[in-house]
Amino acid sequence: MITRRDFFAVMGGGIVIWIACDADAQESGGGRRRGMMQRTPQEVSAWLHIGETGAVTVYTGKVEVGQNARTSLTQAVAEELHTPVASIRMIMGDTAITPFDMGTFGSMTTPQMWPQMRRAAAAAREMLIDLASQKWMVERAGIRVAEGKVIAGSHSAGFGELSRGQQLTGTIPASEALTPATEWKVAGTSVRKVNGVEIVTGAHKYAYDMKRPGTLFGKVLYPPQYGAKLLSLDSKAAEAIPGVKVVRETFREDRGRAGQELVGVVAPDPATAERALAALKAQWTPITGTPDSKTIYQHFKETARGGAPTNPNLVPYTVAYIAHTPLEPRAALAEWDSDGKLTVWTGTQRPFGVRSELSQDLDIPEDHVHVYMPDTGSGYGGKHNGDAALEAARLSRAAGKPVLRNWTREEELTWAYFRPGGLIEVHGTVNPDGTLATWEFHNYNSGPSALHTPYEVPQKIEEVHNCDTPLRQGSYRGLAGTANHFVRESYMDELAHSIHMDPLEFRLKNLKNDRIRNVMQAAADKFGWTRRSKTAGHGFGLACGTEKGSCVAACAEVSVANGVVKVVRVVQAYECGAIVNPEHLSNQVEGAIAMGIGGALFEAIHFADAKIQTNRLSRYRVPRFTDMPAIEAVLLDRKDIPSAGAGETPIMAIAPALGNAIFDATAQRPRQMPMLL
Amino acid sequence: MPRITQLDVNGARRRIDADSERTLLSVLRDDLDLTGTKYGCGEGQCAACTVLVEGQPVKSCLTKVGAVDGKRITTIEGLAPEGKLHPVQQAFLDADAMQCGWCTPGMILGAVGLLARTPRPTDAEIVSGMNGHICRCGTYPRVVKAIREAAKKGVQA
């Protein structure tokens, strides 16, 4: 825990605003007085510093993985502090100087951290007004803050001038009131990506690009089959290569299918490390009798825990395992100092979680571990842990030099965790008037996100069945929301057709949730759903849903010829409360559609004999330029609803909309993802 | 093995000492610390590693450094040498044609090469010309828009 004294030692004088977590603020009486506190609260979620030069620096444990949190959080501060965006620097995901944060996942940055940033900035603004009031002996009411200056009549001062020579701190509870969205000036506008210039000039250093003086390059030997154990290792040939060190250690915890053993090499350059890795002769236990990507769904059913459903009418759908495939693979640079303290630069959505992993694995205190997360080449839920960090830290300790451990694409596609595969069984019945009568939904292995139908049904059963997974699995953008939306919205289409009702009418008839109705209607209107005219080989489909505080609806047109599906046009409406940045929101929505097309139509991990067969980009197809339809994003701005995140839910409607469109075109119901096998 | 001792990169003669069989990608990143050139797959599938050789885009992960001996190489770091952004870089910013940015340097150099060959491309020509590039964040429509806008302004490679 960083103390007040430490903080000013690092930052110099000025003003610091600590943002207490709700619980801590309540413990301290919930008082909102911006008093001069001598202690930092126990639980701080962020802090903001205004230096003596007037520079504004904000500290948060959240990280940037392409979702533009760096920009949106900067907007939050600019909005309330009344200072230009360019005057604000956001320090993110650095465990040495940012407050603890669980991680950047679950679309929580916007609903949770974003308002806290605004509260911190508002508190700082009020403190500046207090200072000006004392200094100029002017009533607070006559003082305003604008464009980074505090102004009262003929008086005007930059932020730094007012705090010069002082060390002022304030603590605010997380529940302080904020400017309503209808009065926003910077928030709610399309502020550009704040570090866009570093991106387009190649100046930004990602974890993969990091280097320290004397850095060595690390490679790790993985088993030929997942689950295989090392029987013997002959490393003589590798060790004979000049400059090479072979490292053999045991992780504290079993890394599951990758095993508990670490066999690695370090060398002065990547080519030599590669050569040394190839020179290792290892023998492994053979693995037999594991399920493959064809038998996996039966395997889920056989290994499901808890009671099995008895309804014989359940209709099975399947969802393949898929890979996040972040274009920057996992990477970590580790460096130890002479006091046994470790610094790791790595791309992760959970820098503090990785700090704990390192501390536990290496058996050193957490305050001896510093994890820094540079803005990273995407995650999509795939970079929650410290695989590369652990490898780099151990290799570096053994070598006595900084070690960069950059995963290859093959390693990324083989040893990272996947989005879970799943079997989903569904059945429902409809009354003659088109209202739903019963609904039964069983999800095997893929997970509980968005499991519950938003439609009105008097009788429903919705269950998740945990199963054995032969592959390593974990978070993904929207988790199981895509799988559950795909099956629910496809089956709703089946039910609509069974009673010859238009799918839009059928949905609206069974939906009371106004927010979902609104996005569905907005998408349908923009698409021209009721005016659609069917031609041979073309089909139209729609889908809607809600998750994590936002609502999504998509209408799609496809053409199908000789089994080849082309997505022609997608209109997607999205509503996540008050819009923080329209351009970036639109970018997220479009990008989610693009990514969703991959999982819907062709992405799948193929595996057999305990090997991942789709272990290269030439074998694992992801969406490309030519796969893109005409995309129209319709953004509904609800200034009366608190802003929710937008990194995940926009991915959930596209797959069922496409499946329904394919059915419309072909009369064949796709009941598997990916739909093209 | 034959060794390469210098490379013409971004208008400067850079001294190196590299086996001619090594990839241009590795030499740029590991020897010259020009890390704007990105690794994405190592097999020419994603084009994140695109650089210009004599003004034409090549995938540096598949290019042996021996094959570019004496040739003019431009990386993303050399596209705006005086700090003034190249019109294609500016167009990417204007269109918000990026999310995580890992593919962006390769995309921009690919676009510069495309516009050198086809100064006024149709959207279909942009799509087919850029199809070797992967953006996992899915900003493709914005990249098309950025290139279209850059072309309107008349970009010289």
pLDDT of residue A256: 83
pLDDT at A2: 58
Compute the distance between CA of residue A392 and CA of residue A646 in angstroms, rounded to an integer. Answer: 33
Q: Does A83 lie at the interface with B, CB-CB under 8 angstroms?
A: no
Average pLDDT over residues A609-630: 98
* A72 close to A114: Cβ distance less than 8 angstroms: yes
pLDDT digits (tens, 9 = 90+) for A533-587: 989 999 999 999 999 999 999 999 999 999 899 999 999 999 999 999 999 999 9
Instruction: Among A380, A617, A626, select the one facing B131 at the smallest CB separation.
Output: A626
Q: CA-to-CA distance for A648 and A650, rounded, in angstroms? A: 6
Check pLDDT > 60 for residue A292.
Answer: yes
Please tell me the distance from the alpha carbon of residue B134 to that of residue B145, in angstroms, as a whole number. 16
Phi and psi (nearest 5°) for A154?
A: -85, -10
Decide if A616 touches B, using CB distance below 8 A: yes
pLDDT category at B156 given cuts 50, 70, 90 is low
Distance of alpha carbon A334 from the chain centroid: 24
pLDDT at A341 over 60: yes
Which ranges constitute the DSSP H helices of A400-469? Answer: 409-415
Cβ atoms of residues A631 and A570 within 8 Å: yes
Is pLDDT of B126 > 80?
A: yes
CA dist B26 and B20 (Å) reads: 12
Split at pLDDT 50, 70, 90, the class of A24 is very low
**Res. A100 pLDDT band, cuts 50 70 90:** confident
Q: A4-195 — its CATH code?
A: 3.30.365.10
> Do the chains contact at A208 and B100, CB–CB below 8 Å?
no
Chain B interface includes A308 (CB < 8 A): no
- Shortest CA distance to B102 belongs to which of A293, A131, A383, A278? A383
Q: From the CB of residue A580, how many other CB atoms can be counted at a distance below 10 Å?
A: 27
Cβ contacts of A96 within 8 Å, gap of 6 or more: A370, A372
Collapsing DSSP to helix, strand or coil, A608 comes out as strand
For the stretch A227-282, pLDDT in tens is 999 999 999 999 999 999 999 999 999 988 999 999 999 999 999 999 999 999 99
pLDDT interval class at B157 (50, 70, 90) = very low
* Interface contacts (A, B; CB < 8 Å): 166
Return d(Cα A572, Cα A416) in angstroms, integer: 31
Separation of alpha carbons A591 and B95, rounded Å: 14
Dist. CA A452–CA A415, nearest whole Å? 32
Measured between CA atoms, the residue of chain A closest to residue B79 is A201
Task: For chain B, say whether A211 makes contact (Cβ under 8 Å).
Answer: yes
| β-bridge pairing A538-547 and A459-465 | unpaired
Q: Which of B1, B73, B102, B147 has the highest number of chain A CBs within 10 A, making it the mutation to test binding with A?
A: B102
pLDDT at residue A31, rounded to an integer: 34
Residue A492, pLDDT above cutoff 60: yes
List Cβ neighbours of A3 (8 Å cut-off, separation of 6 or more): A40
User: Nearest by CB to A202, which of B36, B40, B141?
Assistant: B36
CB A115 within 8 A of CB A175: no
Beta-bridged to residue A57, according to DSSP, are A49, A89
Q: What are phi and psi of A483, to 5 degrees?
A: -60, -45
What tokens appear for A223 in the block?
């088993």
Contact B45 A203 (CB under 8 A): no
**pLDDT 10s digits, B9-53:** 999 999 999 999 999 999 999 999 999 999 999 999 999 999 999
Concatenating the DSSP letter of every residue in B52-65 gives EETTEEEETTS-BG
Note whether A625 contacts B: Cβ–Cβ < 8 A. yes
Q: Is residue B131 less than 8 Å (CB to CB) from chain A?
A: yes
Residue A294, helix vs strand vs coil = coil
Q: Where are the domains of chain A?
A: 4-195, 207-286+330-406, 493-673
Whether B103 and chain A come into contact, CB under 8 Å, resolves to yes
- Looking at the complex, report in whole angstroms how far the Cα of residue B72 sits from the nearest Cα belonging to chain A: 19
pLDDT value for B76: 98
Residues 325-344 of A with CB under 8 A from B: 325-329
pLDDT in tens, A400-421: 999 999 999 999 999 999 999 9
Alpha-carbon distance values, A443 to A251, A449, A556 (Å): 34, 10, 26
Q: Do A625 and B127 touch (CB under 8 A)?
A: yes
CATH class of the domain at A493-673:
alpha beta
Amino acid in position A267: A
Summarised one tens digit per residue, pLDDT across range A360-378 is 999 999 999 999 999 999 9
| Domain A207-286+330-406: top CATH class | alpha beta
Q: What pLDDT is recorded for position A34?
A: 39
For residue A16, name the pLDDT band (cuts at 50, 70, 90): confident
- A35-57 tens-digit pLDDT: 334 444 556 666 889 988 889 99
Amino acid at residue number A451: L
Average pLDDT over residues B116-137: 98
pLDDT at A30: 32
Across the interface, of A201, A206, A623, the residue whose CB is closest to B80 is: A201
Q: Residue A32: what pLDDT? A: 35
Of all residues in chain A, the percent with pLDDT exceeding 90 is: 85
Triad A623, A626, A632: Cα angle to 5°: 85
Find out whether A94 and A373 touch, Cβ atoms under 8 Å.
yes
Name, in order, each residue with C-beta under 8 angstroms of A339's C-beta and a sequence gap of 6 or more: A368
Q: DSSP for A553-599?
A: EEEEEEEEETTEEEEEEEEEEEE-SS-S-HHHHHHHHHHHHHHHHHH
Average pLDDT, chain B: 96
pLDDT score of A43: 60
User: Which pLDDT score, from 0 to 100, does residue A175 have?
Assistant: 59
E strands within A11-100? Answer: 14-20, 44-50, 56-60, 88-92
Q: Choose, out of B19, B39, B127, the residue to mutate when testing the contact with A (most A CBs < 10 Å).
A: B39
Q: What pLDDT score was predicted for residue A41?
A: 52
Q: Say how far apart CA B104 and CA B128 lie, in whole Å.
A: 18
Q: What is the 3-state secondary structure (H, E, C) of A306-346?
A: CCCCCCCCCEEEEECCECCCCCCCCEEEEEECCCCCEEEEE
Q: How many Å apart are CA A568 and CA A566, to the nearest integer? A: 6
Question: What are the structure tokens assigned to A149, written together?
Answer: 């200056």
Which residues have CB under 8 Å from B110's CB, separation 6+? B47, B50, B57, B129, B130, B132, B133
pLDDT at A494: 98
DSSP of A190-259, one letter per residue? -PPPTTHHHHHTT----GGG---TT-EEEEE---SSTT--EEEEE-HHHHTSTT-EEEEEE-SS--GGG-
Query: Is a pLDDT exceeding 50 seen at residue A23?
Result: no
Q: Which of A134, A207, A569, A653 is nearest to A388 (CA)?
A: A207
- In this structure, which amino acid lies at residue B71? K
* Nearest to A568, CA basis, from A661, A677, A499: A661
| φ, ψ for residue A572, nearest 5 deg | -125, 125
B130: which chain A residues are within 8 Å (Cβ-Cβ)? 625
ipTM of the prediction greater than 0.95, yes or no: yes
Q: Which domains does chain B have, with CATH numbers?
A: 3-78 (3.10.20.30), 87-152 (1.10.150.120)
pLDDT tens readout for residues A179-211: 899 999 999 999 999 999 999 999 999 999 999
Mean pLDDT over A285-305 rounds to 96
Whether the CB of B81 is below 8 Å from some CB of chain A: the reply is no
pLDDT tops 80 at residue A9: no
What pLDDT sits at residue A188? 97
A499 phi, psi to nearest 5 deg: -115, 15
- Domains A4-195 and A493-673 in one fold: yes
The residue ranking higher by pLDDT, A94 or A19, is: A94
Mean pLDDT of chain A: 93
Shortest CA gap B4–chain A (Å): 15
Pick from B127, B137, B144: which is nearest to A66 by CB? B137
- Side-chain half-sphere of A98: how many Cα atoms within 13 Å? 25
Contact at CB, B137 and A595, closer than 8 angstroms: yes
How many helices and strands (H and E) does chain A possess?
A: 17, 28
CA distance B4 to B26: 13
Q: Is A619 on the interface with B (CB under 8 A)?
A: no
Q: Is the pLDDT of residue A21 over 80?
A: no
Task: Using alpha carbons, select from A503, A484, A485, A504 the residue that is nearest to residue A495.
Answer: A503
- Please say whether the beta carbons of A614 and A605 come within 8 A: yes
Residue B57 — pLDDT band, cuts 50, 70, 90?
A: very high
